[in-house]
Amino acid sequence: MRSINIPTKIQISKTSPELALDLEKFFSENKNQCFLFEYSDFGKKYFDSLIKPLLREIRFKERYSRLGVITEKEFDWIFSIGGGRTLDISKLTAKNSEAKLASLPTLIAHDGICSPVAVVDGVSQGALVPTALFVDFSIIKECPIEQIYAGIGDLVANLFAIEDWLLAHKLRDEEIDDFAIILSRRAASSIISKLEFNLLKEKQEAKKFLTSYNFLHVYIESLVLSGISMSIAGNSRPCSGAEHLISHAIDEIYGSNTKALHGIQVMIATLYLEKIMGIDLLSREEIKDDISDLEKILRSYGMPTKFSDIGINNEDLKVIIEKAPSTRKGRFTVLDLIRSGV
């Protein structure tokens, strides 16, 4: 029987003092354990000011995550404090060290906060899911708005990833996991419903709404659900289809000059593929007036929705689409049908 790793503790706190109380309890429950704290530059400041004073009865070491993955097996817990790269390094350190993983993200822009995948130096690898996840809302709400756009984009991309997975099941008899699909779709639909409700009922200004606790709590929970759906499936299929291959192709072609954050790229790719297929992902009807219901919602918040919005013209896009399938060989997507002219 395959074991599935999911978080057993998820704590979203409104303020740093509130989070400190939860962390103090967590460290008290694990006072006989040995911790390695890995942090980014910003995470180091957070560690020194908030966490280190709580470690009176904890054996620990600390290091910058930029020093890379280690394999020492002397730790019971790896505790990550930083952004996505810091977490990815900690995921692999925890796996190699046979330790449990705790995370306190300082920004949240994709479902990697709870996914069983780590990307280090451009290489994607299987890794550990955090056992404990702590979120300080007072930090996350101060992130650049583009980071939140990216997280929303990573979630709405699930809708097309699911379509691709079902297509692979239909045409290639690829095995699917219904529960993973339910979780992935729920993660996407929850955030879309929240965005839509504000447009229709609350009518808060876009940035004010997207940085509110009311929205970000659902945003974080949805990204957690999305990550867990991949653990359930045993692969990234419920959250990664042709839209992710297009984003990977953009990254490979442009390198350090890549056009936008990952989540923004997959969001735009999702809307592009939606038009190619001609079916609105929300209404399940034919797209009318060249704009889908999903695109209308995202545009209303000022998010980029076209490749031209991130500096990619039609000629560039042809090269990207041609390259995209090669970025994940063996993964059947709608791009294979497009290339074959079906």
What is residue 92's predicted lDDT score, i.e. its pLDDT?
93
Q: Is 119 inside any structural domain? A: yes
Contact between 5 and 128 under an 8 Å Cβ cutoff? The reply is: yes
Place of tokens 């957070």: 46
- CATH code assigned at 86: 3.40.50.1970
> pLDDT (tens digit, 0 to 9) for every residue of the chain, 342 residues total?
566 778 899 999 999 999 999 999 999 999 999 999 999 999 999 999 999 999 998 999 999 999 999 888 999 999 999 999 999 999 999 999 999 999 999 999 999 899 988 888 777 888 889 999 999 999 999 999 999 999 999 999 999 999 999 999 999 999 999 999 999 999 999 999 999 999 998 889 999 999 999 999 999 999 999 999 999 999 999 999 999 999 999 999 998 677 799 999 999 999 999 999 998 999 989 988 889 999 999 999 999 999 999 999 999 999 999 999 999 988 999 999 987 655
Please tell me the total number of residues recorded for the chain in this structure. 342
Domain final position from 140, 159, 176: 140
b/e map of 190-220 (b: 16 or more CB within 10 Å)? bbbebbbebeeeeeeeeeebbbbeebbeebb
Instruction: Tell me how far apart the alpha carbons of residues 264 and 329 are, in angstroms, rounded to a whole number.
Output: 23
129: left (phi over 0), alpha (psi -120 to 50) or beta: beta
The Cα-based distances of 236 to 110, 172, 266 in angstroms read 13, 17, 14
Say what the pLDDT of residue 2 is: 60
Name the nearest CA neighbour of 138 among 217, 70, 61: 217
Amino acid 5: pLDDT? 77
Query: Is 4 contained in some domain?
Result: no
Same domain, residue pair 159 and 304:
yes
Spatial separation of the C-alpha atoms in residues 26 and 76, rounded to whole Å: 14
- Structural domain range at position 319: 145-340
One domain for residues 240 and 205: yes
Report the alpha-carbon distance of residue 147 to residue 153 in Å, rounded.
10
φ, ψ (nearest 5 deg) of residue 67: -75, -10
Residue 239 in domain: yes
Residue 1 lies in a domain: no
**Contact between residue 290 and residue 275 where contact means Cβ atoms under 8 Å apart:** yes
Unique residue bearing structure tokens 């004073």: 53
**Structural domains counted in the chain:** 2
Cα–Cα distance for residue pair 296/306, rounded to 1 Å: 12
Give a yes or no: residue 313 inside a domain: yes
Per-residue DSSP letter, 260: S
Are residue 131 and residue 149 in the same domain, yes or no?
no
